[in-house]
Structure 1
């Protein structure tokens, strides 16, 4: 069932430009008669003339609305200089209302272009259907027609132009909810390594649970890859690394490790490198982003350690990869545990908690309950130390630094961090990143 209608009048034929309110009137009449739900939300995309006054342009639509009181509160005319700007504005309106099923009515010649914009600005959360907008035989009005089945594939250069237009628009947007903030550890020597853990501020993601520096895109969430890419560009600019040589783990909640420069596995939760200028990263939104640095052999690693990965020993698997690939001595490797859900908040079903209890009973609180509290950080530290990492070479602020300057509990600090545990399925993601300086 359609939840919103988008009418694309961005590129009206010249003979219809001067009768735009008449065009809209006929369109609204069609929608009101044919819509599957009463008075859906209607958004109209129009091209804003350079130097044009938005208020006076919008007022020109008032005559078209007089006969459609049921739509008056549900219709918005969006003027913008580019299609990207207009469509992104409409996406914000859809997201505010949690709408996902959209009918797009547009000129036949615009359909293939619009599909490229939609592919870049939306995710699989949204469903689109299309109807064609055709010039009637009298050439004085537009009419809705069944969509033509033939689809054209746009030339590569046209797709590149659209992508560039979107990127330029996103780059022009102001940062939301404060400045971009990077947390750094004093344990990792900054004359050899560039590293940090991100917080949630300083990006352009606007959905509350993703706002604002979300760094992971998923088909199940509303933040598209191109927005995440812009957040990453801003992070790279602030941190001083090249976003084009950035590599993030491909999460599987297991213990596979990717060796940079070798064949990349289909999925992996650890990644290591000794290449300068390559930035590697692990995400976390309750799971621990763990960073590894060997200042002697000049090698580094990153791991994503959720409860499953912790039990499977992903952190030691990353250490072992550094030892076997780069000749690192386990006693030289420094390990920093990033922001993650703390034992204050994190619960697991009893069967899963049993596995942590086997590692150390102190990893579990209220063990006899149906959902005990679990300390995945303590379990990670114990497994690292049993693998030969020196206790003094592990930073976990819940133990080593009462000021908690790195290992915050993500669930306890909604102003600073994303949390799947706290925010539900449409959650944002922060990362830990590291690279070897040139």
Structure 2
């Protein structure tokens, strides 16, 4: 966190800026001059300060450059020097390109052509303020992909009558921090990735995977075992969704937590579930399977389950009081129960629960699938998300500012078996 007075974004004329910044400590202020397509002023006019010119493109482009500089230095507190009308304009960009993690303090100068005819945005504060949404959207659409191209992993268990996949972290535009780079698919007020970048990541994923024209349903995760049957009244929170509707994409988020995709090729019923350690103990996998059977007449033995990338027992530990609860599922779920921080095998726990629910062992694609039966992509699908930082986000590895990948599944229109 940087003191707000030491990081200044200047959106006004040099004369007003020098006046506004005259009390800054010499050589200490970091000043960013937002010029856009206007000719930049002479840096030397800001004597004693490090002045960086943001010029040559649209305001959105320049502010995005500024955001990248702020993020690269893990800063979040900014003082903005501008006119009253400039504040109204810049606050629109702030809303779209930044999150609540950032603090903006506006210092106003000028106020109109009569006060300072050389100021940028010298119009009065009641003049029309331009809409910036289209400009920002155009900016994010032309951003280059990071970490290579989009890579979607698939399971050979899911037949072609369904569209499905598991996203990786490759090919998106998120750059707010290393832990969010690049195809982050969840936004938060507490992280550096604004909604506009997450939406662009979703757009690119949907185009790549082939579901860009379809409605999307993402669980309102509660880390429990509640299941929403699509078409019924939607709960306030739930970790799984089930449907027999065609052309509707079900998704489940994960960043170490398991994403489970269920598909019954006979009944043409699908489900997606989010299974963290709490949801696993609560039986979300079994609850999802039960909903398919009770609501749509599926037979558990016909259901295929693909398990997305998740944290392995190599990396995942819990406190003993939490970890030892997994012993009631299977003793092998906790390989070191005497440890002060026992390791937990979430994938084994969910496999055991699914098999008890009637799913055939060969109908579950997880880390227990024999390696010689897998392609390289399928090996990635069953790897530990915490170990593989090149392909996956991980809360266990990255802490509170982690990114999110998803599993997604839909019934193709007119799809055969």
TM normalised by structure 2 equals 0.90
Q: Is the 8 A contact 2:214 2:247 kept in 1?
A: no
Listed one character per residue, the Cα deviations across residues 380-404 of structure 1 (whole Å, up to 9, x for unaligned) are 0111111111111111134444652
Query: How many Å separate the matches in 2 of 1:153 and 1:348?
Result: 58
Is 1:28–2:18 an aligned residue pair?
A: yes
- Once the 2 structures are TM-superposed, how far is the Cα of residue 105 of structure 1 from its aligned partner? 1.8
- Once the 2 structures are TM-superposed, how far is the Cα of residue 116 of structure 1 from its aligned partner? 2.0
CA gap 1:32/1:209 in 2 versus in 1, 3 angstroms: farther
Matched length: 400
1:427 corresponds to: 402
Query: How many Å separate the matches in 1 of 2:108 and 2:115?
Result: 17
Query: How many Å separate the matches in 2 of 1:167 and 1:136?
Result: 31
Query: How many Å separate the matches in 1 of 2:117 and 2:269?
Result: 69
2:37 corresponds to: 48
CA RMSD between the two structures = 2.4
Query: How many Å separate the matches in 1 of 2:108 and 2:214?
Result: 39
1:62 corresponds to: 43
Listed one character per residue, the Cα deviations across residues 218-254 of structure 1 (whole Å, up to 9, x for unaligned) are 1111111110110111111110002661111111111
CA gap 1:360/1:302 in 2 versus in 1, 3 angstroms: same
CA gap 1:110/1:261 in 2 versus in 1, 3 angstroms: farther
Q: Is the 8 A contact 2:214 2:249 kept in 1?
A: no
Out of 221, 237, 256, the position equivalent to 1:267 is 237
- 2:23 alignment partner, SS class: helix
Is 1:306–2:296 an aligned residue pair?
A: no
Q: Is the 8 A contact 2:11 2:81 kept in 1?
A: yes
Q: Is the 8 A contact 2:256 2:310 kept in 1?
A: yes
Out of 160, 163, 171, the position equivalent to 2:133 is 163
Listed one character per residue, the Cα deviations across residues 112-161 of structure 1 (whole Å, up to 9, x for unaligned) are 23222211111111111212231585645559xxxx9xx98999xx6xx5
1:114 corresponds to: 90
- 1:261 alignment partner, SS class: coil
* Correspondence 1:354-365 to 2 at 5 A: 354-365=324-335
1:17 corresponds to: none
- Once the 2 structures are TM-superposed, how far is the Cα of residue 275 of structure 1 from its aligned partner? 1.6
Q: Is the 8 A contact 1:198 1:432 kept in 2?
A: yes
- 1:365 alignment partner, SS class: coil
* Correspondence 1:364-375 to 2 at 5 A: 364-375=334-345
* Correspondence 1:169-180 to 2 at 5 A: 169-180=139-150
CA gap 1:98/1:274 in 2 versus in 1, 3 angstroms: same
Q: Is the 8 A contact 1:254 1:312 kept in 2?
A: yes
Query: How many Å separate the matches in 1 of 2:11 and 2:61?
Result: 13
Query: How many Å separate the matches in 2 of 1:354 and 1:258?
Result: 29
Is 1:416–2:391 an aligned residue pair?
A: yes
Q: Is the 8 A contact 1:242 1:279 kept in 2?
A: no
Out of 40, 52, 68, the position equivalent to 1:92 is 68
Out of 382, 393, 404, the position equivalent to 1:407 is 382
Listed one character per residue, the Cα deviations across residues 312-347 of structure 1 (whole Å, up to 9, x for unaligned) are 011111112222222212111111111000011111
- Answer with 107-116 or 283-292: which moved more: 107-116
- 2:135 alignment partner, SS class: helix
1:376 corresponds to: 346
Is 1:8–2:30 an aligned residue pair?
A: no
* Correspondence 1:22-421 to 2 at 5 A: 23-33=13-23, 39-48=28-37, 57-58=39-40, 60-65=41-46, 68-69=47-48, 71-72=49-50, 75-134=51-110, 135=112, 139-140=116-117, 161-190=131-160, 192-206=161-175, 207-242=177-212, 245-401=215-371, 403=374, 404-421=379-396
CA gap 1:154/1:369 in 2 versus in 1, 3 angstroms: farther
- Once the 2 structures are TM-superposed, how far is the Cα of residue 299 of structure 1 from its aligned partner? 1.3
Q: Is the 8 A contact 1:276 1:437 kept in 2?
A: yes
Give structure 2 stretches of 5+ with no counterpart. none
Q: Is the 8 A contact 1:27 1:142 kept in 2?
A: no
CA gap 1:154/1:216 in 2 versus in 1, 3 angstroms: farther
Q: Is the 8 A contact 2:85 2:126 kept in 1?
A: no
TM normalised by structure 1 equals 0.86
Give structure 1 stretches of 5+ with no counterpart. 10-22, 50-56
Query: How many Å separate the matches in 2 of 1:278 and 1:175?
Result: 27
Query: How many Å separate the matches in 2 of 1:137 and 1:239?
Result: 56
1:14 corresponds to: none
- Once the 2 structures are TM-superposed, how far is the Cα of residue 433 of structure 1 from its aligned partner? 0.5
- 1:424 alignment partner, SS class: helix
